[in-house]
Amino acid sequence: MTEQTLVVLTLAFLIVSIFTVELRNLRVTVFFYWMHSVFLFLTIAAYAHVMKNPTLYIWCGAVFLFKMIIIPALMSTFLKRVPIYEFRPVLGFAISLVIISSLEIIFFNLFRHYAYLLAPAGHYQQEPTRSLLAGAFTVFTLGLYALLTRRDALKTVIGLALMENGVHLVLLALASGLPETTMIGILTDVVVVVGLLLYISTTIYEVFGFTDTARLSELRR
């Protein structure tokens, strides 16, 4: 019962993540990024419950603080300074949605099938860790896709954040016994990265008048 809940939560997490990448209104995107964090939080909580691993609840608390509160707050602050509509991405809405959905389905199944390449021990290759790992890697590839195809500064930052979230999900699926200091180190690092990138993007908007990273090409002469 609870294992199935975990798989359903993982899938919902993936679908919300796709919307985070695809939607054009940046305010809605930030809201969906927050939803993505909520599902990350719920997935970790369900995993902690299934695996009966109380240390994972500490991760839950940290994810709540860093990813559900601080990072969305940073993004909303950024949006107060810049236009809320995204620059036209490389691909159109419909075609991008089709490509990303099919890619995600393929990746999810590939990662589930070749779990032995990613899971270093037999018990990680069983459900529910298997699906969780596949979901985490799929979110990672989704972030990479966003980084490669989106031109808006906020969207690239969201792509990076999705990649990091994927890595963190792998981290706690495979290495839940990590000491708290390393956990705080990694999460603080993400917050500083997002804050710094948004700060530089704000300055870019003030100087250039746009947040389109594809047009940052002064140096490509």
Partner 1 sequence: MVESLLPVWVILLPVIGSLAVFGLGFTAARRFREWIALGVEIVAFLLSISVARQVWGGARLSSLNMALYVGGLSALMLVLVHAMVLVILIQAVPYMRKELVSGRTTDGRLTLFYALVLLFSGTMTWTVTTNNLVMLYVAMEGSTLATALLVAFYRARASLEAGYKYVLLVITGMTFSLFGIILVYAAGVQHLGSGRSALMVTEMGKIANAIPKDIALMATAFMTCGFATKAGLVPFHAWLPDAHAEAPTPISALLSGLVIKIGAYALVRTVTIFAPHYRAIVLFIAILTSTSMVIGIVMALVQDDLKRLLAYSSISQISYVFEGLGLGTYLGIYGGLFHLVNHTLVKALLFLSVGAIMYATGGKRRISELGGLASKMPITAVAFFIGALSIGGLPPFNGFMSKFTIFLAVGEAKLLWAAAIGIFTGMLTISCLVWAAYRVFWRKPAVEVVMANPGEVREVPFMMWLSLVILAAACVVIGVYPQILHRPLDVATRAVLQIWAGGY
Q: Which chain residues interact with partner 1 by CB under 8 A?
A: 116-121, 124, 140, 144, 147, 153, 156, 160, 163-164, 167, 170-171, 174-175, 177-179, 181-182, 185-186, 189, 192-193, 196-197, 200-201, 203-204, 207-208, 213, 216-219
Which C-beta is closer to partner 1: that of 8 or that of 214?
A: 214
* CA atoms of 175 and 182, how far apart (whole Å): 11
* Least distance to partner 1, CB of residue 127, Å: 17
CA angle 146, 148, 154 (to 5 degrees): 50
For residue 100, how many C-alpha atoms fall within 13 Å in the half-sphere facing its CB? 29
CB of 97 to partner 1, least distance (A): 24
Closer to partner 1 by Cβ: residue 26 or 194? 194
Cβ 95 to partner 1 shortest distance, Å: 24
| CB closer to partner 1 out of 83 and 120 | 120
Smallest distance, partner 1 to C-beta of residue 217, A: 8
Nearer to partner 1, 59 or 140 (CB): 140
Closest distance between partner 1 and the C-beta of residue 8, in Å?
A: 25
